[in-house]
A and B are shown apart, each in its own frame.
Chain A
Amino acid sequence: MFSLVQRFQNVSNQAFSLGIIMVVFIMASSYYQLINNNAFSIPSNIDNVKTLVNVRTSRYFGSQRGKAKENMKIRFDLNTDLTPLFNWNTKQVFVYLTAEYNSTEKVSSEVTFWDKIIKSKEDAVVDVNDLRSKYSIWDIEDGKFDGKDLVFKLHWNVQPWVGLLTYGETIGNYTLTVENNDNV
């Protein structure tokens, strides 16, 4: 009745159910802390966005069949404090600056210009001026960026030590219409 196998099974069953209870508790408490710290309404200030357009012919910049592709980078100011996202279950925060726009009347797009991995509370304040975007953006359609309305947003993703991935958006959008601009 009390064979080794039986005991091993009992112990592992106990460990499994205890583990589940602990994980649920950790998930609930960290989500509560996010809400308590107003993590879902963090203000951010995106400003002074300048677009830089050039033309690329590589496949890694969206060019296909040798056709030149318009690419866009930006320069921007960004100021936000992401400290509320850090609690005892935060492994890292992935923060990313995106722009939403309509490629055509039917195709809506969202692209990432810049992102950053923040691993500790001490680095949670982002304050940059005239920073160049990390990524060079091209559009899926053949049109130009000229005249398109871009809505810039700062998003975040909390990667936990255990549990559910949490996503959110900061408050403070920045709208810009791309103007004819040939400088690189």
Chain B
Amino acid sequence: MNLRSELQKLLNVCFLFASAYMFWQGLAIATNSASPIVVVLSGSMEPAFQRGDILFLWNRNSFNQVGDVVVYEVEGKQIPIVHRVMRQHNNQVNKQFLLTKGDNNAGNDISLYANKKIYLSKSKEVVGTVKGYFPQLGYITIWISENQYAKFALLGMLGLSALLGGE
């Protein structure tokens, strides 16, 4: 056990985290979305999307079609919501207003929108349009974020494996 190999290991760990971060940011630039991959947290789009499903987003489109499933964040609330576009009104100068609804909800989303608005602004509030789907794998992140011990266990495991792992 010499200092050089220990430092080498530390460097490898740094490299791992840096490349993961670069991959994420690269994806964000390519898709023009701050969070290009999201995990479904609620059942409002069932049976299409269940809790824990992974969605891949794209945000280079300047307008949405009716029927698109979009992820939006209302101003002032930091909760991303995944719902379907029911109406679009497009005034051709890069401004589009949308009305959304969850497939599993009885009514539309007006009660979720910011201060008495009855439409969503495509350019300001839509984070991305759902293009791809992978079932259930995101449940790990829900489990980690909702279970405090899981968080520590994961961090501990990462640290241990990085330090103890041979070669």
Interface size on B, residues (CB 8 A): 35
Surface stretch bound by A, among B23-31, B34-42, B88-96:
B88-96
Q: Which of A59, A94, A164 contacts B131 (CB 8 A)?
A: A164
Contact indicator A155/B67 (Cβ below 8 Å): yes
CB pair B103 A117 closer than 8 Å? yes
Interface presence of B76 (CB below 8 A): no
Q: Are B66 and A119 in contact (CB under 8 A)?
A: no
Give A130 to B102 CA distance when docked, in angstroms. 26
Which of B48, B103, B108, B161 interacts with A5 by CB under 8 Å?
A: B161
Does A167 lie within 8 Å of B134, measured CB to CB?
A: no
Instruction: Tally A-B pairs: CB < 8 A.
Output: 93
Q: Contact at B90–A155, with CB atoms within 8 Å?
A: no
Within 8 Å by CB of B103, from A94, A103, A107, A111, lies A94
Residues of A within 8 A of B61 (CB): none
Smallest beta-carbon distance A107→chain B, Å: 5
Residues A117 and B47 in contact in the complex (CB < 8 Å), given A60-B108, A107-B90, A110-B87: yes
Question: How would residues 39 to 54 of chain B score, 1 for a CB under 8 Å from any chain A CB and 0 otherwise?
Answer: 0000000011000000
Q: How far is the CB of A65 from chain B (nearest CB, A)?
A: 9
The answer, among A59, A98, A161, for a CB contact under 8 Å with B66, is: A98
Within the complex, what minimum Cβ distance (angstroms) separates A166 from chain B?
10
* Chain A residue with Cβ nearest B111: A60
Task: Determine whether the beta carbon of A140 is less than 8 Å from that of B89.
Answer: yes
Chain B stretch 71-94: residues in CB contact (< 8 A) with chain A: 84, 86-92
A/B interface sample: 21 pairs, CB < 8 A: A6-B166, A59-B110, A64-B116, A64-B118, A92-B48, A96-B66, A98-B67, A106-B92, A107-B89, A107-B92, A110-B65, A111-B66, A111-B87, A112-B87, A117-B47, A117-B103, A140-B89, A140-B97, A157-B67, A167-B65, A167-B67
Residues of B within 8 A of A (CB): 47-48, 65-69, 84, 86-92, 97, 103, 107-108, 110-111, 116, 118-119, 130-135, 161, 164-167
